[in-house]
Amino acid sequence: MFRLNHHWFNSYRFSFSTNGINYNSDKVQEFISKNKAHLSIGITIDGTKTKHDLNRIWKGEGERGSYEDVVRNIPLWLSQFPGAGTKVTISSDDIPYICESVLHLYSLGIHEVNINCVFENVWKDGDDMKFQEQLLKLADAIIDGCLYEDNTCSFFNEQIGKPLDRILFNQNWCGAGKMLAIDAQGIFYPCTRFAQYSLRDKKAWEIGNIKDGINKNRLRPFLRLDRCTQSKQECIDCEVASGCAWCQGENYDTAESPTVYERSTAICKMHKARVRANNYYWNKLYRKLELEGITREDAEKHVKKSNVQEPC
Ligand code: SF4
C-alpha cells in the first residue's frame, strides 16, 4: 500500500495480548512510542497475587509466580492506554478468589475486567454452587460500593440466560474458519486452538501455509457450522441458552471422532450458575437505582457497560 500510495496505507491496527513481563523494557517502549496510534495492548493479569500465581508461573523456576513482575508494569500501561481492559480465566481451583480478584483489578485502575470459565472439563462436583456464591458476593460488593458506575465485569451481562430462537439466533459462537491464525513456522490454522500445541488428543488442523496459501478444502467443514448443527437437542431447546459459549477447538479436541460438529458442554452447570447470579445482580441493581429515582431508561447513564460482547 505504501508503494501504491494507497489511501489505506495508514489504516491498520496491531492488537496485542501480552503477559506484560517485558512491558517496561526499552525495546517494547520504543516500539510503543513509534506505533502508538496503531496499537491496542491488553495485559493479562488474573487478579490478586494468590489467584494470578496459581496458574501463571515462570518456566524452570519452581513455583515462582509472575504477579510481581506484571503488576509493576500496570501503572505505565494504564498511563499509555487508559481504559484498557484485562482478561481473566477461571478454572476449578480459582473459584474461591473470583470476588477479591475482580475487586483487586478495579483497585489497580483496570476498569474493564473480561472474565470467563475455561471450556475444558475441569469442573468438580459443587463447583457451580461455589461459583455462584462468589458471583453473589461480587454482585453485592459492586452494587453496594457503587462500583458499577465506572467498572465492568463481563460475568454480569443482561443479555445472557434467555432461550434462543433456532433461526434468528443460530450463528456460530466464534470466527473459527472465517479468520486466520498463523504460527511461527508460517502454518495456517482456523484458530490457534487448532495448532498442535493447543490440542491434547487430536492432530493439528492445518489449513495451509505462507508459501502455498489457504487450502479451501480443509476449510469446508467450517462452512456449515452454526449453533444448531453442532449442538444436542437439549442445548437447542435450553431455556438459558444465550451466553452459553463453546470453543470450536475444544469441541474438536473432545469429540469422539475428528469432527468440529460435536459441542462440548462441560461448561453447562457453570453457565447455569452464572445465569442465577446474573438475575440476582440485575434485579438488585435496578431496585437500587429505582429507589434513587433512576428509571430503567435512564439507567444506561449510570451503569458502565462493557464494549466486549463475551470473551472467549
Ligand atoms: S450447555 Fe447447558 S446451559 Fe448451555 S445451552 Fe446446553 S443445556 Fe443450556
Q: What is the DSSP string of 142-201?
A: HHHTTGGGT-EETT--TT-SS---TTTT---SS-TTTS-EE-TT-EEESSGGGSGGG-SS
Of 36, 39, 35, the residue nearest 15 (C-alpha)? 39
**Is 122 a member of any domain?**
yes
Cα(123)–Cα(134) distance, integer angstroms:
15
Model pLDDT, residue 299: 81
* Distance of CA 238 from the midpoint of ligand 1 (Å): 6
CATH code of the domain in which 96 resides = 3.20.20.70
**Is 273 a member of any domain?**
no
Model pLDDT, residue 312: 61
Planar angle of CA 278, 282, 286, nearest 5 degrees: 175
Q: Is the distance from CB of 225 to CB of 260 less than 8 angstroms? A: yes
Q: Is the distance from CB of 190 to CB of 176 less than 8 angstroms? A: yes
* Distance of CA 267 from the midpoint of ligand 1 (Å): 8
* Distance of CA 229 from the midpoint of ligand 1 (Å): 15
**Is 198 a member of any domain?**
no
Q: Whose CA is nearest to atom 6 of ligand 1?
A: 235
**Is 141 a member of any domain?**
yes
Percent above pLDDT 90 for the chain: 87
Ligand 1 neighbourhood includes 234 CB (under 6 angstroms): yes
**Is 260 a member of any domain?**
no
Cα(116)–Cα(246) distance, integer angstroms:
11
Compute mean pLDDT per 10 residues along the chain, 312 residues long, and list them.
91 92 97 95 96 92 89 97 92 97 97 95 97 98 96 95 93 93 97 96 97 96 95 96 96 97 97 98 95 84 74 60
124 DSSP 8-state letter: P
Length of the chain counted residue by residue:
312
Q: Which atom of ligand 1 is nearest to the CA of 275?
A: 3
Cα(277)–Cα(99) distance, integer angstroms:
13
**Is 233 a member of any domain?**
no
**Is 234 a member of any domain?**
no
Domain count, the chain: 1
Q: Is the distance from CB of 112 to CB of 120 less than 8 angstroms? A: no
Q: How many CA atoms lie within 13 A of 163 on its CB side?
A: 9
Cα(31)–Cα(37) distance, integer angstroms:
11
Model pLDDT, residue 302: 82
Q: Which atom of ligand 1 is nearest to the CA of 231?
A: 6
Cα(71)–Cα(77) distance, integer angstroms:
10
State the virtual CA torsion across 236, 237, 243, 246 in degrees, nearest 10. -30
Cα(55)–Cα(240) distance, integer angstroms:
30
Cα(6)–Cα(2) distance, integer angstroms:
6
Model pLDDT, residue 251: 97
Domain span holding position 103 = 14-155+294-302
Model confidence over 223-255: pLDDT tens digits?
999 999 999 999 999 999 999 999 999 999 999
Q: How many CA atoms lie within 13 A of 294 on its CB side?
A: 12
**Is 179 a member of any domain?**
no
Model pLDDT, residue 309: 61
Across all residues in the chain, what is the average pLDDT?
A: 94
The pTM of the full predicted model, rounded to 2 decimals, is: 0.91
Cα(243)–Cα(117) distance, integer angstroms:
12
Q: Is the distance from CB of 254 to CB of 264 less than 8 angstroms? A: yes
* Distance of CA 244 from the midpoint of ligand 1 (Å): 6
The grid cell for 201 is 488428543
